[in-house]
Structure 1
Amino acid sequence: MNTVIATRAQHPRYSNGLRKIPRPSWWSMRVELTVMWVVFLATHVFYAWQATWHPSGPFNDVTIVYRGWIDQAVAGDIPGIHSDYVYPVVSLIPMWLADLFGGRGGYMYAWMGIVIALDSLALWWLTRNPHGRLAGPRRLAAWWWTIFLLLLGTIAFGRIDAITVPIAIIALSLVMTRPALAGALITIGAWTKVWPAALFASAFVAIRRRWMLVLGAIVVCVSVMLGVLAIGGIDAIPHALSFVSGQGDRGLQLESTAASFFLMVHALGLVYYKNEFSQQILTQEIEGPGTKLVGDLLTPLMFIMMLVLMGLAVLAKKQGMGIATRLPTLTLGAVATFIVVNKVGSPQFITWLAPVIIFGLVWDGRRFLPLSIVALSIALLTQLVYPWYYWQIVDGMKAGAFTLLVRNLLVAGLMVWSLAHLGRGAFTKPKNS
């Protein structure tokens, strides 16, 4: 089976499409990898240091919120088991590990150590075979991810999303060759933070061995629910699933794509909108004319958009679009839709772009190289949004509102590109996918 897969991967429709870049004689592969690792680790260390003094408190979610949930669990009230919880229950595991290794005094450093370990595993996974067929595209993707983290800043590390990104990177690299393992990893990610469900849906629609993907997911879901039952009994089930129902009552978050238009109107002095801090969900929400209606429409619209993307992918397959073009485009579109068509819009959502851009650079580099540059711009603007301009955004000042709007429009551009590319594939038989 592995031989068959390798032969298929060498077919022109699986070609990455990038030309080999000549390198100076002194720039050996060993030197390149050494420099990459130094920059990669230094980026993590630098932003961990920045988090200790920045006035916006970029790691407050870790040191206050996550730590508070662990204190609550130690007191006998485990979130997601004995009470409702905003995240899927597996997210408590890295929070507990940070407490186990760091205690109260070193909680942030232990958290960062876990993030560094997982990110390093994913980087090693990308670069582990320096002489393989996809070695060049994988190194390019690894370099891109390193620069992406450098531009994105502290938000790439100080949220639960940081745990899911390296898992998703490894899972996507396995989805065509070991779908059961990929399905298990994606499901672990989704039980930590919901967004990898977009990757699962995309892979299920695109790959042939989709039931192996489902098998891996079932194994993980059964294991999680057995753990929930063992700890909390049958009464724990509704609490373990409360992260699904708990999103419905949320308002329109200030940093979301839809809210950024209202914020810009407010910053220009055209219509007054008020920002309110939700003590229940610990986010800034915007209130004013039209915000509730838009917020109510976004969730059903997201499902409609996802169905449109999946449908276009199915039609594109029938027209002959190769999977190495179709699946990366679909995963990018699904993740961008999760970000754009969402009443929630936290800055850490931008980390979700990393796995799908990496996947695209490895399998469809010619098309994804320009998109990867757009994603780097999104990362830089996101660091301006948070933590540097955050209070300008909260106060509705023009510079902050404009930066947020441009960032969100760029993410929307990635979604539109994915829809357009799949649409062309769905209704036009390509000469060479």
Structure 2
Amino acid sequence: MSRTVSMRLVALWSAFGLVHLFTAVAGWLYPSQPMGDVVLVYEPWSSAALSGGAIVGVTETWVYPQLALVPMLLAKILSTPLIAVMGASGAYLIAWAVLVTVLDAIAFAVLVGRSPSQPRRMAAWFWITALLLLGPIAMYRIDAITVPLAVIGGLWLVRRPAAAAALLAIGAWIKIWPGALLVAAVVAARSRMRVLLTAAAVSAAVVVVLVAFGADAEIFGFLTEQTGRGLQIEAVAATPFLWLAIAGAARIEYSFDILTFQISAQGADAVSAVLTPLMAVFVVVITVIGALKASREASFARLFPPLALSLVTTLIVANKVGSPQFQTWLIAPAVLWLVLDRTRAAAPALLVLALCALTCLIYPLSYDALLRAETLPVAILTLRNIVLVVLLAVGIRALVRVPAHRSSTTRE
């Protein structure tokens, strides 16, 4: 290994460690309790399961796919030696931060290797920067567990398609969004049948285990639980209602059932009801465009990145929920695009970084003011949501412009 390569690796890993440390500590310092879900929800769920109480997703319907409980339980187990020193909540938070950092480190090692190419170095610096800009919400949510799984899965799709599909399927059973990368892989990869069969086998194994533990109607409860949700204030479709709230024509109310702030206004329920079907239509249309490109033998490196990013962005833009941690979903497809096709990845990567920064300005830094429907945070959120729509347009445009393999050498 040359001295230059060694210095680059030291710089990358040093930045990785410092940013993760800063992000972990910032969770204790920033306003609006950005670590709230970890100690107020994840820790009680894991405690109940380990103490013989209710097991979410098994004995009662849950908002998450069932494998989401696994990292929560693991953090609880890891926190046990620290409880006597820091108390249950503090110990669990530290264990969670360590778990996320370790998983990120494994994915980061897969990304940079021992002698990373320039695209992989750029992707690594992008990931570090995105985490820094997004702040503690990028670490203290269950979504943080799925990002490294998606990065490794995406990087392995060509050479280890079965392992990649298994990781992405596991990720989808923790939080649904990695399923978008699976769909993109089935469309774009030459080993699509292996990817599809492996993902199906993993899902079947999960269902069998759940049934063995006594789950029945609860197995797909994470899908049915979402249908009754109202329009969350940070959702893209909620933007006009926030401006109405400033004028006093709409209200921001807290839902104790879903534990989130939602819009209460005439027309909000109708908008919420149409979003899920609209999302399904967009996903189908984007997938069909990708399939048409694949049928014309488009290269994986050109087709997979914009297809994956467009599908993931659709899950955010057309969602009735707009939770800030959703921005972590964009990190993996952007990292993969930088690795596979860095020239065309520049614009979407910059947009993702802008989304991370704007999201942190909203939550947690100005969230209290947003709940009061003050003009500045509403304007910042409006800009963030506009950038999300722009990112979707950029992804779809890149997807439409993917050339057929036969003519790619003359067009690229």
Which category describes the TM-score, using the shorter chain as reference length?
A: over 0.9
Q: 1:186 aligned to 2:164?
A: no
* Inter-CA distance 79–404: structure 2 relative to 1 (3 Å threshold): same
Residue 163 of structure 1 is aligned with which of 136, 140, 145?
145
Q: Which residue is 1:220 aligned to?
A: 202
| Structure 2 counterpart SS, 1:289 | coil
Q: Which residue is 2:83 aligned to?
A: none
Q: Which residue is 1:411 aligned to?
A: 388
- Whole-Å separation in 2 of the counterparts to 1:30 and 1:329: 32
Within a 5 Å distance, the mapping from 1:18-97 to structure 2 comes to 28-73=4-49, 74-97=51-74
- Whole-Å separation in 2 of the counterparts to 1:379 and 1:369: 16
* Inter-CA distance 321–218: structure 2 relative to 1 (3 Å threshold): closer
Q: Which residue is 2:366 aligned to?
A: 389
Q: Which residue is 2:84 aligned to?
A: none
Q: Which residue is 1:432 aligned to?
A: 411
- Whole-Å separation in 2 of the counterparts to 1:245 and 1:127: 40
Q: 1:325 aligned to 2:310?
A: no
Q: Which residue is 1:242 aligned to?
A: 221
AA in 1 matched with 2:72: M
Q: Which residue is 1:229 aligned to?
A: 211
Q: Give per-residue Cα distances to partners, 1:177-226, cap 9 Å, x unaligned.
A: 22111111001000001111111111111122111102221232132122
State TM-score, norm by structure 2.
0.93
AA in 1 matched with 2:169: T
- Whole-Å separation in 2 of the counterparts to 1:237 and 1:275: 36
Contact 1:182-1:216 at 8 Å conserved across structures: no
AA in 1 matched with 2:29: W
Residue 119 of structure 1 is aligned with which of 88, 104, 109?
104
Q: 1:282 aligned to 2:259?
A: yes
Offset of 1:109 from its aligned partner? 0.3
- Whole-Å separation in 1 of the counterparts to 2:337 and 2:15: 23
AA in 1 matched with 2:175: K
| Structure 2 counterpart SS, 1:364 | helix
Contact 2:359-2:384 at 8 Å conserved across structures: yes
Q: CA RMSD in A?
A: 1.9
AA in 1 matched with 2:39: T
- Whole-Å separation in 2 of the counterparts to 1:400 and 1:27: 47
Offset of 1:382 from its aligned partner? 0.8
Offset of 1:318 from its aligned partner? 4.0
AA in 1 matched with 2:285: V
| Structure 2 counterpart SS, 1:237 | coil
Contact 2:348-2:395 at 8 Å conserved across structures: no
- Whole-Å separation in 2 of the counterparts to 1:265 and 1:28: 56
Q: Give per-residue Cα distances to partners, 1:370-400, cap 9 Å, x unaligned.
A: 2211111111111101100111211111111
Offset of 1:37 from its aligned partner? 1.3
* Inter-CA distance 27–349: structure 2 relative to 1 (3 Å threshold): farther
Contact 1:61-1:158 at 8 Å conserved across structures: yes
- Whole-Å separation in 2 of the counterparts to 1:353 and 1:173: 15
Contact 1:84-1:243 at 8 Å conserved across structures: yes
Q: Which residue is 1:209 aligned to?
A: 191
Q: 1:257 aligned to 2:242?
A: no
- Whole-Å separation in 1 of the counterparts to 2:69 and 2:294: 39
AA in 1 matched with 2:174: T
Offset of 1:311 from its aligned partner? 1.2
- Whole-Å separation in 2 of the counterparts to 1:215 and 1:373: 35
Q: Structure 2, unaligned stretches of length 5 or more?
A: 81-87
Residue 377 of structure 1 is aligned with which of 339, 354, 357?
354
Q: Which residue is 1:19 aligned to?
A: none
Contact 2:302-2:402 at 8 Å conserved across structures: no
| Structure 1 counterpart SS, 2:111 | helix
Q: Structure 1, unaligned stretches of length 5 or more?
A: 1-25
- Whole-Å separation in 1 of the counterparts to 2:361 and 2:181: 28
AA in 2 matched with 1:114: L
Offset of 1:265 from its aligned partner? 3.6
Offset of 1:319 from its aligned partner? 4.5
Q: 1:293 aligned to 2:270?
A: yes
| Structure 2 counterpart SS, 1:239 | coil
| Structure 1 counterpart SS, 2:159 | coil
- Whole-Å separation in 2 of the counterparts to 1:254 and 1:63: 23
* Inter-CA distance 408–191: structure 2 relative to 1 (3 Å threshold): same
Q: 1:357 aligned to 2:342?
A: no
- Whole-Å separation in 1 of the counterparts to 2:398 and 2:386: 18
AA in 2 matched with 1:115: V
- Whole-Å separation in 2 of the counterparts to 1:143 and 1:420: 25
Contact 2:297-2:404 at 8 Å conserved across structures: no
Q: 1:141 aligned to 2:156?
A: no
* Inter-CA distance 223–424: structure 2 relative to 1 (3 Å threshold): same
AA in 1 matched with 2:185: A
AA in 2 matched with 1:200: L
* Inter-CA distance 274–145: structure 2 relative to 1 (3 Å threshold): same
Contact 1:256-1:340 at 8 Å conserved across structures: yes
- Whole-Å separation in 1 of the counterparts to 2:170 and 2:144: 14
AA in 2 matched with 1:387: P
Contact 1:312-1:426 at 8 Å conserved across structures: no
- Whole-Å separation in 1 of the counterparts to 2:256 and 2:52: 22
AA in 2 matched with 1:118: L
| Structure 2 counterpart SS, 1:253 | coil
| Structure 2 counterpart SS, 1:28 | helix
Q: 1:340 aligned to 2:325?
A: no
